Structure 1
Amino acid sequence: MTRTITELFDLKGRTALVTGGSRGLGLQIAQALGEAGAKLMLTARKPDELEEAVQTLQAQGIDARWIAADCAREDDIQRLVSETLQRLGDIDILVNNAGAAWGAPAEDHPLEAWDKVMNLNVRGYFVLSQAIGKACMIPRRRGSIINVASIAGLGGNPPDMRTIAYNTSKGAVINFTRALAAEWGRYGIRVNAICPGFFPSKMTRGTLQAMGEERLAAHAPLNRLGDDEDLKGVAVLFASDAGKHITGQWLAVDGGVSAVVGG
């Protein structure tokens, strides 16, 4: 007998690890997974922000914990995986969201800044996915990995944004998603990517001021920026059995920006 739509989206009994989960898009995704019934482990670099986020989620009846870790460091990643498995058991859902950006003209972009962005945004995603895959997803032949990319990975930006390292890293995340999905499908592991557009919560205050919210919103056919609800639906779709036949895909959540030629 086929399941109801409510049953397909239900995440009760599953555990999710969300990187960069203390604020912004990571916290929005974590909240969605928790509301659908998943137990949560949030990680980020700053303990005070993690504690505040977890307290907010727990006040809503969501089972959430935290571990402070830097996902640009391999030793921190290994510790994060080990402690999560000890405290919550096997990980069913991994959300790779921790990331960095750097604004500079390409001709003057510092190499150390390039390496910082690529190390966290690409290498960190791979190292954590590999560790969790080997520890529990491959042996159990199940799991969902959700990579947070960006519409910046689909092409260039307006010239005044000058984020070549970030764009390059997010383009790499999209193809990493496809490649890993193709390789790990045999293990029942699904790998998909979310490509957010302009969300105030993921942009620096300086970028918002420089670009202007109204100007950014005008790029989108829906004439608005993303809000605190707009990633919740796709996150639960990719994490749950409602998306059990979806893998290797990316979905732009951008108000239609990527649908506009030259947008």
Structure 2
Amino acid sequence: MSEPPTVWDLFDLTGRTAVVTGGPGQLGSQLCDALAEAGANVVVTSRTYEDCEAKARELSSQYGEALPVAADVTDEDSVEELVETTVDVFGGIDILVNNAYHATGYGRSFEELTKEEWAETLEGTLTQAFVTTQAALPEIRESDAPSIVNVGSHYGVVPPDQRVYGDTGINNPPTYGAAKAGLIQFTRWLASYLHQERIRVNAISPGGFYSEAMEDVEGYTETFVPNYEERTMLGRMGDDTDLKGLIVYLASDASKWMTGQNVVLDGGWTVW
């Protein structure tokens, strides 16, 4: 009788290939780091090749081989090329992380938003996951350990607390939360649809992560950040390691009995 796998065996991603959309971004970069550190070959993709190349070079220097691929995840032909390139280099796809998003309407009132902005956010946040998953699914079906992870948001579960923004004008728009809520439901639907093929589909819904890129925006550090941290049970925003454990868990055999779930990682924001 063979020995049961150890905890380290369960989390090991050696030999598996992970595609991370929005890979060079703030959260995407952390997701890529974690998957690469756990042993996966990581495909870093976004619209801008230079950003993908820089992140892939960083991963390759520290972990295993990483591949940069420029792709527009709202465009079917572009995504097909992403899948083909990944298969040509690594032989298949085991893990798909739908992390890319594009949202419009920040800092504007509900009354000012246009139908075009609403549609643009749905396209860039929800439809992109549909397009990418549909294109990658034939390869994921061939994997011995398939896993799809969609990156939602705690604002897809509860609405923003408008009070944390004060009069900064950086309020989160309704377009974003609606698209992320749709992504969470898509996760559940897809898990149900693929259950007989033993393809697991789960979602991560992060809370707010501190952004150095926002430090020059008026009201961010002096108003929004302290208000947000006070509103959160653990008294802080997310940092540059908070997503790492969860993505490896959901991508690996450690979560082989989990599917159709949305894991909220928000420091307790949605509890009160």
TM-score, normalised via structure 1 length = 0.93
Deviation at 1:202, TM superposition (A): 9.4
Correspondent of 1:153 among 153, 156, 175: 156
Deviation at 1:23, TM superposition (A): 2.5
1:1-263 equivalence runs, <5 A: 1-102=3-104, 103=106, 104-133=108-137, 135-140=138-143, 142-159=145-162, 161-201=171-211, 204-205=214-215, 206=217, 208-209=220-221, 211-260=223-272
Deviation at 1:107, TM superposition (A): 1.7
Distance between the aligned counterparts of 1:42 and 1:214, measured in 2?
Answer: 33
Per-residue CA deviation, residues 107-129 of structure 1 (Å, 9 max, x unaligned), is 22122221111002111101111
Distance between the aligned counterparts of 1:128 and 1:9, measured in 2?
Answer: 25
Distance between the aligned counterparts of 1:247 and 1:222, measured in 2?
Answer: 27
Deviation at 1:47, TM superposition (A): 1.6
- Shifted more, 100-109 versus 40-49: the winner is 100-109
Structure 1 unaligned segments of length 5 or more: list them.
Answer: none
CA RMSD of superposed structures (Å): 1.8
Per-residue CA deviation, residues 57-110 of structure 1 (Å, 9 max, x unaligned), is 122133211101111222211111111111211100000000012213222212
The answer (yes or no) to whether the contact 1:226–1:254 under 8 Å persists in 2 is yes
Distance between the aligned counterparts of 1:208 and 1:92, measured in 2?
Answer: 39
The answer (yes or no) to whether the contact 1:15–1:91 under 8 Å persists in 2 is yes
The answer (yes or no) to whether the contact 1:95–1:146 under 8 Å persists in 2 is yes
Distance between the aligned counterparts of 1:83 and 1:211, measured in 2?
Answer: 45
Deviation at 1:137, TM superposition (A): 2.0
Deviation at 1:219, TM superposition (A): 1.2
The one-letter code matched in structure 2 to 1:153 is G
Distance between the aligned counterparts of 1:198 and 1:43, measured in 2?
Answer: 23
Distance between the aligned counterparts of 2:222 and 2:46, measured in 1?
Answer: 27
Structure 2 unaligned segments of length 5 or more: list them.
Answer: 166-170
**Percent identity between the aligned chains?**
38
Distance between the aligned counterparts of 2:144 and 2:9, measured in 1?
Answer: 21
Distance between the aligned counterparts of 2:204 and 2:154, measured in 1?
Answer: 9
